[in-house]
Structure 1
Amino acid sequence: MASNTPSRVLKYTSLGLRLVAAAAFLAAGSAKLAGVSMMLEIFEHIGLGQWFRILTGLVEVSAAIALLIPVIAGLGGLLLAITMCFAIFTHLFVIGGSPVPAIALLLITASIAWLHRVGLLNLIRPTQA
């Protein structure tokens, strides 16, 4: 039984992180897609146009859903970690405000990608016949 403990801990740690991240990104992405006034203002300030808000919302919602599907959870985590890198950059150099929430979400999503790295590698490696 002791040998199962680390894998069990990792399994539940991954599940907890995935649920937290999925909830956060489903909420944020949905707000972007719904055109919540705060999101309209933020993306107006970014200056790339509202199409970028829609694209970002679609990425966040689809990757959040991917977090809930174990076989592609690593891909969702990686996509969201990359998204959070851009969010941190945007906060620091474009719109201002605190990058701390984006940094926290980066740490969570990068951890998910790391915990699911084997599955992620299996998605990109050709299968051996």
Structure 2
Amino acid sequence: MSETVVPAALTVPRVPSSPRRRVASAALTGARVALALFLGFSAVAKLVAHASAVESFERMGWGSAAMYAIGGLELAGALALLIPLLAGVAAVALVGLFAGASVVQLTLLDPPNAVMPALLIVLVVLIARDRRERTRELYALLRGRGRVPHAGQ
């Protein structure tokens, strides 16, 4: 018996069961795209060493290596949010990034600006919850349990 591995990303997505769930899922999909764009722009500013990003990292006393590292993490998160199979994992990882951003705003930069990353934590938690089935599929695929019998068997 030969088995074929079918990545979960290539399977037909599950349709939410209720109209309310479909609306919520659609709204969170829009939020994922908007957040990915936001993170992408923020990442590019850091990765090209835009003057505003350089100034912020100098105010914190952090070097350019930290700026590039955070920019890289933001870009990776933005791209992963756009890939349905990775969106849930990306959202969980972004909780940490946004928590750190909130703490930095509170302690090193402008305390009132700590509200934005804190609110984004709520959004990424909702995204992670919405994408939990795909995250389980990814986990199973990585553990080697994502195998399905070959068609015709």
- What interval of TM-score do these two structures reach, taking the shorter chain for normalisation? 0.7 to 0.9
Q: What are the within-5 Å matches in structure 2 for residues 82-121 of structure 1?
A: 82-97=96-111, 98-121=113-136
Number of residues paired by the alignment? 127
- Which fold has the larger relative contact order, with Cα–Cα distance below 8 Å and residues 6 or more apart in sequence? 2
- C-alpha RMSD over aligned residues: 1.8
Identity %: 26
- Which residue matches 1:28? 42
- TM-score (structure 2 length as normaliser): 0.74
- The C-alpha deviation readout for 1:20-57, integer Å capped at 9, x for no partner, is 11111011111111111111011112223110110100
Moved more, 14-23 or 92-101: 92-101
1:95 alignment partner, SS class: coil
* Deviation at residue 83 of structure 1 after TM alignment: 0.2
User: Is 1:44 equivalent to 2:24 in the alignment?
Assistant: no
Cα separation, 1, equivalents of 2:72 and 2:124 = 17
Matching residue's letter, 1:30 = V
Specify every segment of 5 or more residues in structure 2 that has no aligned partner in the other structure, as ranges: 1-16, 148-153
- Looking at structure 2, the residues matched to 107 and 24 of structure 1 have their Cα atoms a distance apart, in angstroms, of 16
User: Hey, which of these two has a bigger chunk of helix by percent?
Assistant: 1
Moved more, 86-95 or 115-124: 115-124
Match of 1:76 among 74, 90, 93: 90
Moved more, 4-13 or 37-46: 4-13
* Deviating more after overlay: 32-41 vs 114-123: 114-123
